[in-house]
C-alpha cells in the first residue's frame, strides 16, 4: 500500500453511508447509486487498504473492529465538511437580513428576549439566530464559526476579535420566599455563615470572585447543590433548596417567581463581555442590536437599584 496511499473520495462516502445506514441497499439509495456499485466499491476499498471493513453474513454487514476504528477518522472528516457547509450558509445569510449571536444561556433567557423585542420594533425584517452554550464551549464556537456578536462572562482575549463591555450593575443575593434572611434589606457576608448555598462550578469566573469575598471575611457556607447556569441556580433557590448570589439579569428575571432579591453589602460589579469579529464580514445590523442591548442593560441597572 505504501505511505503515499490516497483513498478515493467516492469510496469514503460509500463506506460512511454503509456505516450509517447499516446496509448497502439503504446506502445506495442515500447516494443515488445502485446496490451492486456500493458492494463493488467496498470490496475495492478493502482490497486497497489491506483489511476487511465488514463481516458478511448473507446480505447483512457487521463492521469489523478495524472498520469501526477507520470510521472514527472518517466521521471527523465529514464533520469538517458539515462545518464548511454551515459557514457557507452563514456567509450567504450575511448578504440577507440575518444576525447571528452566540450567548451564555443566562443571557439568552433573561436578557436577549428583551433586546430582540426592542430591536425588531424597527428591524422586523432581520432574522435573528441565537446560539446558546456554556462559557468554555461558547468560546470555542466563537473561534470556529461565523457570528456577528458573542456574549461571554470572561474576557475574550483573541487577535481575531474585538471586545467591549456592557455594565449590568452588581451581583444580587437571591433567597427563597419566607427565608429568614429576607427580613434584611442588605445582606453582609457574615449573614451567609452556615447557610445552604446553591453554587456554580469551579470554572465560573464569578464563583471565584464571590469565593474571594467570603474567604476574606472568614465566612463558611454549606454547599448543597452545584450547577452550571444562573437559571438553574435560581430555580433551585425558588424551590427552597438554598440561597445564592447571581448576576442581575437572571435575578431580575426570577424576581417574584418564588425568589426574593436582596442587595449584597460588598460591591461585585457584573460586566457582560461583548465579542465582535475583528476582520471579515461584519453585519451592519450588529451595531443597532448592540445599541438596543445597552438600552436594556441601563434599564436593568436602574430597576435593580430599587431593590
Give, for all 307 residues of the chain, the pLDDT tens digit.
Answer: 444 456 678 888 888 888 888 888 888 888 889 999 998 988 888 888 888 888 887 777 888 888 888 888 787 777 656 555 665 665 555 555 678 898 988 889 889 999 999 999 888 888 888 888 877 777 777 766 678 888 888 766 555 556 788 999 999 999 999 999 999 999 999 999 999 999 988 878 788 899 999 999 999 999 999 998 899 999 999 999 999 999 999 999 999 899 999 999 999 999 988 888 766 556 678 889 999 999 999 998 988 888 8
The structural domains of the chain, ordered by start, are 9-88 (1.10.10.10), 96-168+271-304 (3.40.190.10), 172-267 (3.40.190.10)
Residues 6+ apart with CB under 8 A from 232: none
pLDDT at 260: 96
pLDDT at 275: 86
Rounded to an integer, what distance in angstroms lies between the CA atom of residue 162 and that of residue 279?
Answer: 9
pLDDT at 269: 93
Q: 183 with 235: CB under 8 angstroms?
A: no
pLDDT at 92: 59
Q: 241 with 224: CB under 8 angstroms?
A: yes
pLDDT at 127: 82
Residues 6+ apart with CB under 8 A from 260: 174, 175, 176, 177, 179, 182
- Helices 24-31, 9-21: axis angle to 10 degrees equals 120
- Helices 112-119, 284-304: axis angle to 10 degrees equals 130
The C-alpha cell 434584611 sits at 184
Grid cell at residue 7: 483513498
Amino acid at each position: 500500500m505504501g505511505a503515499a496511499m490516497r483513498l478515493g473520495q467516492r469510496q469514503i462516502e460509500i463506506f460512511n453511508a454503509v456505516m450509517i445506514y447499516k446496509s448497502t441497499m439503504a446506502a445506495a439509495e442515500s447516494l443515488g447509486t445502485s446496490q451492486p456499485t456500493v458492494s463493488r466499491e467496498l470490496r475495492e476499498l478493502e482490497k486497497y487498504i489491506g483489511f476487511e471493513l465488514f463481516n458478511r453474513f448473507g446480505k447483512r454487514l457487521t463492521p469489523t473492529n478495524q472498520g469501526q476504528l477507520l470510521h472514527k477518522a472518517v466521521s471527523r472528516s465529514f464533520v469538517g465538511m458539515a462545518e464548511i457547509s454551515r459557514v457557507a450558509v452563514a456567509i450567504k445569510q450575511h448578504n440577507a437580513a440575518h444576525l447571528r449571536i452566540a450567548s451564555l444561556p443566562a443571557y439568552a433567557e433573561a436578557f436577549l428576549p428583551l433586546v430582540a423585542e426592542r430591536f425588531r420594533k424597527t428591524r422586523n425584517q432581520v432574522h435573528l439566530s441565537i446560539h446558546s452554550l456554556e462559557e468554555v464551549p461558547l468560546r470555542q464556537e466563537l473561534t470556529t464559526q461565523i457570528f456577528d456578536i458573542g456574549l461571554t462572562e470572561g474576557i475574550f482575549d483573541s487577535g481575531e476579535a474585538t471586545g467591549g463591555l456592557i455594565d449590568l450593575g452588581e451581583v444580587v443575593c437571591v433567597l427563597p420566599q419566607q427565608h429568614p434572611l429576607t427580613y434584611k434589606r442588605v445582606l453582609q457576608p457574615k449573614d451567609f455563615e452556615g447557610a445552604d448555598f446553591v453554587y456554580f462550578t469551579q470554572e465560573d469566573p464569578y464563583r471565584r470572585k464571590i469565593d474571594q469575598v467570603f474567604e476574606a471575611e472568614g465566612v463558611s457556607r454549606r454547599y448543597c447543590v452545584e450547577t452550571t447556569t444562573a437559571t438553574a441556580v435560581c430555580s433551585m433557590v425558588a424551590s427552597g433548596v438554598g440561597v445564592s448570589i447571581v448576576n442581575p439579569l437572571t435575578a431580575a428575571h426570577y424576581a417574584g417567581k418564588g425568589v426574593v432579591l436582596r442587595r449584597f453589602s460588598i460591591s461585585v460589579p457584573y460586566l457582560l463581555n461583548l465579542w465582535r469579529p475583528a476582520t471579515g464580514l461584519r453585519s451592519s445590523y450588529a451595531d443597532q442590536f448592540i445599541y438596543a442591548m445597552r438600552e436594556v442593560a441601563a434599564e436593568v441597572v436602574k430597576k435593580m437599584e430599587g431593590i
